A and B are shown apart, each in its own frame.
Chain A
């Protein structure tokens, strides 16, 4: 009985007692949710345009951030370093298309998925080889990202909001809006959606697959760079970030693999759900449930709605 009370009543009482803590937790969840959404966005871009689930998105985030910091450490001014980093991501997109995607065109999706595993491990090794394995500090100041924080008096206590988090949220929302418009309104966006549906059909109407893929991986690379900057500004850049990228999977499951607004909604649900779960229920079982809570939420979701919130219902034709 006591256990039931502890699980189903106490946490809510706690929430009511200290609403400022609740708001703080929700805000933290919101921010990490936005960042998850950014990672998920990279996945969605590539999946939407090529049907490939790019497992390497996480390491691309790390790699992009490391490249930026690395250039800066060589003495290059921040803005130039940023442009150079963008250039590197473009080269990466070109290389991936030429070396991995082109030889594997028309192979089943699972093969392409496994190829992205290969890309992941290759980039991990390369990144560690070039940049070394210790965590680096993101050049947030040099990029004019705001520091400091504001404390709001709210609900009987206070909620502290880091300016960098606000900046992250704004940048992410802007980026998502831009990409959303790009996909639905422009000619290239339409071509991207055609390629995602069927490689063969797209080829037969004259869409150049190679160009499309370079564009898409480049876009995902930019998203990865932005994500890397924002994540890195909050906590240093290290290879541990790559594992956090796995969290994007539950986000994608909730939001659907091909929906850009879905990535935001999924990200927020997971981010906030995780933080609240950890803060209010975590102590009951010794803490650390953040490592798996997101996946279990996604799993439960899949049981009831196998196509996610925004995904398309799959009708099997025989």
Chain B
């Protein structure tokens, strides 16, 4: 009875086409955002550093991948590589122009990813569906190799790794060893909210429709005047942009430094799973998927020892890791059987039930 549309009349098409047409939804979003910001003050270092910051960053990468796989229907296994491009581009820009604000460089680095993404997306002119995934695999392995083999990328650092130097915003350190978790969290949260808003605008407009048309039946889309190559390349570009920014944030706002191994094929798979489990073609699904996949090992790390230690069985970190893989695999199969549209669809169904609550239908 709370979640009702009754009484909310739309008097213009613009109102009808709004992203959150229901007042309850708008209030809900505002509450969530307010809560999120409040975490910057109430959250413990552990919560921020180990849970919330990486969750947001991976959710952003999942959004990026979802734009391509879920909306445009182009399977990509190169996410790790594109994230890496963003990270290394950001590093070079930061170290070459230390006076410019780091946030500017984080947002700029996405464009390098976008460019590389478009280059590796060119084959989509001729290649479709599953074969395109193999092209993205070429991108993944090639990029990972070049992160390792091009010393210029790491400023000729002998260790081969990149490190986050000190950078500030309005006098507070936000990047580097002295940057506090709260400061970094605030920056990450704001950037992710902003970029999610942009993604939402794109998918609700003409471009999102064109992508979905191509995903559902590209022959019909072409016969309607949609230019396939341009739309596909645009999806590569936008998706890679998001992944690039996420990669830069991963290194500079979370890890503090990285080697080329961080952006390996497992990273690509992980983010793909987040998209699948969260829900293809759903922005909120990307958040759900990131939450589930990312927080699950942490949850396991707390729950399992709690259950088994009183029984005298030691649950080591490796066991948790192994169980994580097994549960992840089982979850993917479970979701594909029960709800192929992922957590996002379950959420929609829940909202649907909520609309008619307390009646069953």
Contact = CB atoms under 8 A, between A and B. Distances in A.
Interface in A72-121: 99-100, 103-104, 107, 110-111, 113-115, 117-121
B135 A302 contact: yes
Interface in A232-256: 243, 246, 249-250, 253
Contacts of A46: none
B333 interface: yes
Contacts of A316: 219
Contact of A286 (B127, B149, B326): B149
B269 interface: yes
Given A114-B336, A306-B126, A288 B148 contact: yes
A128 B326 CA distance: 10
B115 interface: no
B322 A292 contact: no
A122 interface: yes
B169 to A, nearest CB: 38
What is the interface of chain A mostly: helix, strand, loop, or mixed?
helix
A292 B337 contact: no
B328 A289 contact: no
Interface size class, chain A: 35 or more
Contact of B127 (A249, A287, A303): A303
B333 A119 contact: yes
A99 B141 CA distance: 33
Contact of A118 (B135, B141, B149, B333): B333
A296 B138 contact: yes
Given A117-B269, A128-B321, A306-B128, 5 more contacts: A114-B276, A115-B333, A118-B332, A122-B329, A125-B326
Q: Shortest 8 CB-CB distances between A and B: which pairs?
A: A122-B329, A125-B325, A118-B332, A125-B326, A121-B329, A295-B138, A292-B141, A118-B333
Interface of A: 53, 99-100, 103-104, 107, 110-111, 113-115, 117-126, 128-129, 133, 243, 246, 249-250, 253, 285-289, 291-292, 295-296, 298-299, 302-303, 306, 316, 318
21 contacts: A99-B333, A104-B336, A114-B276, A115-B336, A117-B329, A118-B328, A118-B331, A118-B332, A121-B328, A125-B324, A125-B327, A126-B322, A126-B326, A246-B137, A285-B149, A287-B149, A296-B138, A298-B134, A298-B138, A299-B134, A302-B126
